[in-house]
Amino acid sequence: MEKGTVDMHGRAETIHRPLAPAGKPARRAMPVHVAIIMDGNGRWAQQRGLPRTEGHRAGVRALKTTVKAAARMGIRYLTVYAFSTENWHRPRLEVGALMSLLVETLERETPELRAEGVRIHGIGNVEGLPRPVRERLAWAEAETAGQTRLVLNLALNYGGRDELVRAVNRWRQAEGAEGRPLTEAVLARYLDTAGQPDPDLLIRASGEERLSNFLLWQLAYTEIYVTGTLWPDFGDADLERAVDAYMRRERRFGGIG
């Protein structure tokens, strides 16, 4: 009997289903798109008696390591949550330090990222960012526009709900008046990630088990991997472990496998 057929009693027949050889579990392909919630910078600093901003600096170093590792591993899209629409609720000094760090990092790292074949793309409500950040981001995007090895989506002033509202409003302006109904495929074209595949794997550092308003549409069927590692301590080995765990998972998309 073939897999998926039913015997004379109406029971699913599984006896002749081919089994994976012992000790060699089936592996799926590498993830094409990995999303990361880079969390735990503050706790990392606190554990060392340092100001939270030092945690953010260490977080930038971890990001640089991770981008390089992702490119080496053949990941094609990396989307990192760097500043959420809710992060404005933090003390003014911390928000200011984060904005300065963004400007400084974009300025310093863009040439090397370009040399590594990385294309930088901002997602989120970019218009709501301070002008120096907006300008450096636009510059980094233009500088790296020709690169094709890895797309690095930097989520800045990003919120999943905000993105959906902006997408619907853009659609309404562009074609809503023509009276065509909005479909999933059409809406996807107005998201900040238009033209990109949805993330295969979401990694959250620091052990928190929530989405915190990240990529609400795109994560519909993404595999989730939570690690207790605080983001500044995240390195090549952590990325490899997450990818390895992903490759052992079975994705069913509502089917039966």
Q: Which spans of this chain sit near ligand IPE (rule: CB under 6 A)?
A: 37-43, 81-84, 87, 98, 206, 208, 210, 212
Tokens of 206: 């620091």
Instruction: Tell which phi-psi region holds residue 8, choosing left (phi > 0), alpha (psi between -120 and 50) or beta.
Output: alpha
| C-beta closer to Mg ion: residue 39 or 223 | 39
Question: Measured from the CB of residue 46, what is the shortest distance to ligand IPE in angstroms?
Answer: 7
Q: By Cβ distance, which residue is nearest to ligand IPE?
A: 42
Q: Is the Cβ of residue 68 or residue 90 nearer to ligand IPE in the bound state?
A: 90
Is residue 81 part of the contact set for Mg ion (CB under 5 A)? no
For 254, list phi and psi in degrees, rounded to 5. Answer: 85, -5
105 binds, among ligand IPE, Mg ion, none (CB under 5 to 8 A by kind): none
CB of 121 to ligand IPE, least distance (A): 17
Q: Which residues are annotated as a binding site for Mg(2+)?
A: 39, 223
Residues tagged active-site: 39, 87
Rounded-to-integer distance, Cα 16 and Cα 22, Å:
16
Tokens 């330090």, located at residue: 97
Distances 47 to 38, 51, 225, 230 between C-alpha atoms, Å: 17, 10, 24, 11
Q: What does the chain come to in residues?
A: 257
Contact between 116 and Mg ion per CB under 5 A: no
The four Cα atoms 184, 186, 189, 190 give a dihedral, to 10 degrees, of -90
> Of ligand IPE, Mg ion, none, which one does residue 87 interact with (CB within 5 to 8 Å by kind)?
ligand IPE
**Residue 6 C-beta: closest distance to ligand IPE, Å:** 47
Q: Is 39 in the site for Mg ion (CB under 5 A)?
A: yes
Choose from Mg ion, ligand IPE, none: what does 35 bind? Cβ within 5-8 Å by kind: none
Q: If binding is defined by CB under 5 A, does position 223 make contact with Mg ion?
A: no
Q: CB neighbours of 26 closer than 8 A, spacing ≥ 6? A: 20
